[in-house]
Structure 1
């Protein structure tokens, strides 16, 4: 039975990555819904916050801010037609790497963590920009930036709550990472 459920979950994995082509308009609501339209985006955003919660001081906010800043740059590039090779694989890899980093990375320099999330944010931003149609780029961008920040905050608060139980935090981060691994092979 366990093998059957695992097979069904892996077979369904491609349907979970729905945050990409097919949005009808490009207003604020469309932008706000884009990050929650696919499990890949949701888990990557939560993992960023979860990982940031393991840091102290300004790094706790610099890591998610790095993601948002580079994602916004990626959006501008994607809206201008820039195509990033292996876009979907980069987004799936972000779920894998950031999830596992949140679980197991230990103490690495905050600048390195910000660079890692920033590199993956470029993939997410280009995907957002490629989805933007019409003339309301500012409204669309404001929507997905707000939702991204809210998902980072949710991950941060979950990470703060889980911070007292390192094994539960590792289990959550590892589970996120395993979904990312499944998405890479989907």
Structure 2
């Protein structure tokens, strides 16, 4: 049992270390970057804040179980896609970056504390955070040919990150005690705090 716990905790720690190596702050993308499916798919994978928030959604959903396993990731992806269209139409709003960092902190704490949110309330919270992420994605891309492919690309990448989180969440949920979720969630929240003040 202890070996399983340490393997899970080590896996979560290794994941955080690898993603931290990618970036310690959300990179600022510029208008005019390539549009289309592939750039959109790669975009969420270049920002630590996006990666951590999306994986945390999956972990939290797995810890809750039941309908949250599907409903919460779907709510995030759908809301994010709609918010991206708004971002493309209206442009950047500085508060979105703060909202993204706050989402990393909040989702990390939800995992660490294993917050037992009701299905609808949890989905609403996740949807709110998805607005920040989606709007930021859309605002970074001018409305031009390939924009819808770009949205489809980052929606798929987001779904895959959720799936990664679901898998991690299942492993964490099977670990003895609550320490694996404490370590993973606290690590995410701590990085979110760094991003918030950076």
Specify the alignment match of 2:169 in structure 1. Answer: 159
Which deviates more, 120-129 or 22-31?
A: 22-31
Residue ranges of structure 2 left out of the alignment (5+ in a row): 1-20
Out of 20, 28, 34, the position equivalent to 1:25 is: 34
Aligned pairs (5 A) from 1:23-172: 24-133=33-142, 134-165=144-175, 166-172=178-184
Change (3 A) 1:16 1:53: same
Question: Does the aligned pair in 2 maintain the 1:19–1:37 contact within 8 Å?
Answer: no
Shift of 1:69: 1.2
Shift of 1:23: 6.2
Shift of 1:16: 2.5
- Could you tell me the TM-score, scaled by structure 2's length? 0.82
Shift of 1:128: 0.9
Residue ranges of structure 1 left out of the alignment (5+ in a row): 1-11
Aligned length: 175
Shift of 1:65: 0.8
Shift of 1:92: 0.5
Shift of 1:57: 1.8
Question: Does the aligned pair in 2 maintain the 1:19–1:35 contact within 8 Å?
Answer: no
Shift of 1:18: 1.1
Question: Does the aligned pair in 1 maintain the 2:102–2:192 contact within 8 Å?
Answer: yes
Whole-angstrom CA distance in 2 between matches of 1:153 and 1:122? 20
Which deviates more, 80-89 or 138-147?
A: 80-89
- Could you tell me the TM-score, scaled by structure 1's length? 0.87
Shift of 1:46: 0.6
Which deviates more, 97-106 or 116-125?
A: 97-106
Q: Supply the RMSD in Å over aligned alpha carbons.
A: 2.0
Change (3 A) 1:51 1:23: farther
Whole-angstrom CA distance in 2 between matches of 1:85 and 1:159? 32
